[in-house]
Copies of this chain bind each other. A is one copy, B any other.
Amino acid sequence: MNGAEALLRTLVDGGVEVLFTNPGTTELHLVGALESVPEMRGVLALFEGVVTGAADGYARIAGKPAATLLHLGPGLAYGLSNLHNSRRANSPVVSIVGDHATFHTAFDPPLNSDIAALAGWLRGPVRRPEDAAGAGPDAAATLAAALEAPGQIATVIMPADVSWSDGGAAAAPVPPRPASTVSQKVVTQIADVLRGGDTTALVIGGTALREAGLTAASRIATATGARVLQELYSNRVERGAGLPAFPRLGFYPEQVLEQLNGVDRLIVAGTKAPISFFAYPDQPSLLVPQGAQTHILAEVGQDAVAALVQLADLVAPGTTAEVTGPQRPALPTGALSLQNWADVVAALLPERAIIIDESVSSGTALAAATAGSPRHDVLMQTGGAMGDGLPLAVGAAVAAPDRPVVALVADGCVMYTASALWTQVREQLNITNVILNNHAYAILRQEWSHFSNRPGLASPDTNPLFDLTNPQIDFVGLANAFGMPASRATTAEQLADQFSQALAQPGPHLIDATVPPAA
């Protein structure tokens, strides 16, 4: 077999089932190899940011990596922003990047560039087989690296002649290095902290935000009185009726410092100690209260869930978790507001839904509204790179075709990756896209008002660079242009009606929901 086939066969043997791609000439033999390795499903996107965001969403729901296939340096470049989000989510991704034939690069043709430098920006390992015989082993090593806890972007650069040459063979899967476990000593020390009577907060993140971790954290809180908070942006959070729920850390420094006010001891599991998302003049970056002591129960990449369960068994034997009861808001009425759109979603959310939350400044009411909705998962944009929402929905729906996906995306995020709608239609994915349309980069207006040292300018309300009303984007027309059924909602009644209908029908739908900008 040729190198391309050896690569794909090795990945399939290692459990990879989906290849998201926007290919070009240097990847043609990999496209061809999809026919001889039919266990690998190729999913086409028209833009690389959709490819990479979809792989992230897939990994978060499937619990294993998808592969991405991109066209040399420029193709990878377009995919980098959502790979940055993946990196911050600790999602495993096998990133395959085609390159010129090994003998061609020295002539520096127009598409030539330092692909390894770009891939290295993601901090994961980069491999580049020099011949077809190397393709299988490099694929196996790359897959193992992607899977290494907590998950990372592992890249394999495939020169075109490595792909097209014979002499390849599938390589046996390489077992990934397992997550390191937290020592009993650390758990015991932190148990002592919890028993010490100081005011204590426990900040959890990563895999600890699924049922086992949430349950352990709740037991600890109930037994010891510790305040539990969840990290701000997460790979995946299990929520809803029957699960414990905890407040998220705030976005602004003063919010976090208020949440941690009076805390003497800060315990961290599966995430980092709280830091501000952005810096502001005269505000701290590290948001640990003055004088408080930080204790790391589990670093990112360690088995935080096991550590929390052990800790709960020490400090809360016999204590059960407090779970949220089933509770939905009544269906609201009237013009859409930042509260009532969230209430509509919460009131109608189906069983086992996957919520994609890129609602940005329009989403402040969502978490509270949906706390007692049927159990669901929430995937968030983790790295601050806009435009992750619609692609995450693609990947989540490919990973779980039997689950309804609800993508809640602010209007300012759509145009980075709008062609995700095309792939949603092409693959007939069960996604209800709700565009929260305030016709503005409202988050920038909000941020602007947050700076103490902003110049005395015209009001941000009139700054043309924050304003998206000229022209207004017709998201119904945009969706229709890709063949997607779509509708517009300006009242809660309309949103409820359209949301119900979209969920009841197979395939993707879009609702352009007119909402007021956040104050």
Contact surface of A with B, Cβ cutoff 8 Å: 2, 21, 23-26, 28-29, 31-36, 42, 44, 46-47, 49, 72-75, 77-78, 80-81, 84-85, 88, 100-101, 103-104, 106-111, 113-114, 117-118, 120-121, 160-161, 164, 233, 275-279, 281, 285-286, 382-387, 412, 415-416, 418-419, 422, 425-426, 443-444, 447-448, 451, 453-455, 457-458, 463-466, 468, 470-478, 480-483
Beta-carbon contact of A448 and B113 below 8 Å: no
Beta-carbon contact of B110 and A21 below 8 Å: no
A85 and B73 alpha carbons, distance in the complex (Å): 11
A29 and B455 alpha carbons, distance in the complex (Å): 8
A274 closest partner in B (C-beta): B107
Beta-carbon contact of B477 and A385 below 8 Å: no
Beta-carbon contact of B465 and A44 below 8 Å: yes
A114 closest partner in B (C-beta): B121
A382: B residues at CB distance < 8 A: 110
Beta-carbon contact of B470 and A481 below 8 Å: no
Instruction: Out of B233, B285, B426, B475, name the residue touching A481 (CB < 8 Å).
Output: B475
Beta-carbon contact of B74 and A109 below 8 Å: no
A44 and B468 alpha carbons, distance in the complex (Å): 9
A411 closest partner in B (C-beta): B46
Instruction: Out of B28, B47, B110, B386, name the residue touching A383 (CB < 8 Å).
Output: B110
A46 and B160 contact, Cβ closer than 8 Å, known pairs A113-B84, A422-B471:
no
A482: B residues at CB distance < 8 A: 471, 473-474
A44: B residues at CB distance < 8 A: 464-465
A166 closest partner in B (C-beta): B453
Q: Say how many copies of this protein the assembly contains.
A: 2
A453: B residues at CB distance < 8 A: 164
Beta-carbon contact of B110 and A88 below 8 Å: yes
How many Å from the CB of A53 to the closest CB on chain B? Answer: 12
A322 and B298 alpha carbons, distance in the complex (Å): 77
Beta-carbon contact of B81 and A35 below 8 Å: no
Instruction: Out of B25, B164, B478, name the residue touching A478 (CB < 8 Å).
Output: B478
Beta-carbon contact of A281 and B164 below 8 Å: yes
A384: B residues at CB distance < 8 A: 72, 74, 110-111
A122 closest partner in B (C-beta): B113
A443: B residues at CB distance < 8 A: 25
Most buried by B among A24, A49, A81, A101: A81
A385: B residues at CB distance < 8 A: 74-75, 77-78, 111
Beta-carbon contact of B73 and A285 below 8 Å: no
Instruction: Out of B36, B110, B161, B418, name the residue touching A279 (CB < 8 Å).
Output: B161
How many Å from the CB of A363 to the closest CB on chain B? Answer: 17
A31: B residues at CB distance < 8 A: 444, 463, 465-466
Instruction: Out of B111, B415, B444, name the residue touching A28 (CB < 8 Å).
Output: B444
A161 and B281 contact, Cβ closer than 8 Å, known pairs A42-B465, A465-B31, A471-B482:
yes
A113 and B106 alpha carbons, distance in the complex (Å): 30
How many Å from the CB of A175 to the closest CB on chain B? Answer: 30
Beta-carbon contact of A74 and B84 below 8 Å: yes
A483 and B46 alpha carbons, distance in the complex (Å): 23
A111 and B277 contact, Cβ closer than 8 Å, known pairs A416-B78, A481-B478:
yes
A464: B residues at CB distance < 8 A: 42, 44
A2: B residues at CB distance < 8 A: 455
How many Å from the CB of A167 to the closest CB on chain B? Answer: 13
A34: B residues at CB distance < 8 A: 465
A413 closest partner in B (C-beta): B46
Beta-carbon contact of B84 and A77 below 8 Å: yes
Beta-carbon contact of B475 and A47 below 8 Å: no
